[in-house]
Amino acid sequence: MEKTLDLKFNYTDKKDTRSGFGDGLLEAGRKNPNVVGLCADLIGSLKMGAFQKEFPERFFQTGIAEANMMGIAAGLSISGKIPFTGTFANFSTGRVYDQIRQSIAYSDKNVKICASHAGLTLGEDGATHQILEDLGMMKMLPHMTVINPCDYNQTKAATMAIAEHEGPVYLRFGRPVWPIFTPADQKFEIGKAWKMIDGKDVTIFATGHLVWEAVIAEAMLREEGISAEVINIHTIKPLDTEAILDSVAKTGCAVSAEEHQYNGGLGDSIAQTLIRNNPAPLEYVGVDDSFGESGTPTQLLEKYGLNAANIVAAAKRALARK
């Protein structure tokens, strides 16, 4: 289906976003000697091997002990180190929520919590590993910045940007190989939404892997004579409310798209913004209060209603409510 569509963004290559993290971490480490890495027995999965190899004295294998890793990271940050912790998104958040809350968020420590294998697209490992609540948990913490980039290039740029940002950050990325459709040399501005496609009938606010689905959805809608604006919300918190309100002032309705529960995700953040300023129809594309399961990423996005076709349907529902 994608082939025959006239997409506004295209790709020549595909890669996993976790590799963007690994490559970005290596560059951040070369630029700044304060960058240190920690990993809880998932160096290969997090693509932290190159950093470990080049900077063995600045890398700590913690074993399978995520709570301890968060505390060690907080301690390292006190003297000015910039710790990047690496494990799966589930074990980066839910497993260690209180350690993050007290030692990192409340204490406002400069720790970068880097989380791979987020969402349904980790695939066959199933629901125990497919966290769909992490954005909500992390955005609820005062002081915390929450970032969910969309492809390899954006993840790499985001990783380098958070090294230069002072304060706790949650960086979320994933496992599947995914189209690389954003530029290699992009400047990543934390908290600044990126309007990728101009439109006038409906706005699609997407984050993470679903930005690509939104790009496809825009082309599908265009074929039906519907003009969709696509905005890449790579930073969930602080949310670029100005960009959201400006766009919806023009289009009058919106769709949010994320690999996350409805509850507590990007959609809820946008809903809050709209309800306070400009109540306009908003439709959610996300997971509706259920756990995931084993399957391929494509199968799971389809079964749980997260692909381009679901975004198209949601856009039509939003339009009908205008």
Partner 1 sequence: MEKKSTEQLQEVASQVRRDILRMVHQVQSGHPGASLGCTEFFTALYFDQLKHDSDFKMEGKNEDLFFLSNGHISPVWYSVLSRSGYFPIEEMSTFRKLNSRLQGHPATEEDLPGIRIASGSLGQGLSVAIGAAQAKKIDGDDRMVYVLMGDGEQEEGQIWEAAMYAAHWKVDNLIATIDLNRQQIDGPTKEIMDLIDLRAKYESFGWTVIDTENGNDMKSVIEGLEKAKSLAGKGKPVLNLLHTEMGFGVDFMVGTHKWHGIAPNDQQLADALAQLSETLGDY
**Whether the Cβ atoms of residue 255 and residue 202 lie closer than 8 Å to each other:** yes
27 contact, one of ligand TPP, partner 1, none, CB 5-8 Å limit per kind: none
Q: How many chain residues bind ligand TPP (CB under 6 A)?
A: 5
- Which of 44/238 has CB closer to ligand TPP? 44
Residue closer to ligand TPP by CB (options 156, 172) is 172
User: Given 2, 57, 66, 242, which residue is catalytic?
Assistant: 66
- 41 is a site residue for ligand TPP (CB under 6 A): yes
> ∠ at Cα 300 (296, 303), nearest 5°?
140
Q: d(Cα 24, Cα 163) in Å, to the nearest integer?
A: 10
Bridge partners (DSSP) of residue 88 are 116
Does residue 86 touch partner 1 according to CB under 8 A? no
Question: Site map for ligand TPP, 55-74, x if CB under 6 A?
Answer: ---------x----------
Active site residue 66: yes
Among residues 223, 216, 241, the alpha carbon closest in space to that of 310 is found at: 216
Query: Binding of partner 1 at residue 2 (CB under 8 A)?
Result: no
Nearer to partner 1, 226 or 306 (CB): 306
Residues 6+ apart with CB under 8 A from 215: 7, 8, 9, 181, 196, 197, 230
Nearer to ligand TPP by C-beta: 128 or 277?
Answer: 128
When asked if residue 249 is in the footprint of ligand TPP (CB under 6 A), the reply is: no
**C-beta of 63: minimal distance to ligand TPP in Å?**
8
Across 78-227, the runs of DSSP E, i.e. the strands, are 82-88, 112-116, 145-147, 169-172, 177-179, 194-197, 202-206
Q: How far apart are CA 135 and CA 263, in angstroms?
A: 10
Catalytic center residues: 66
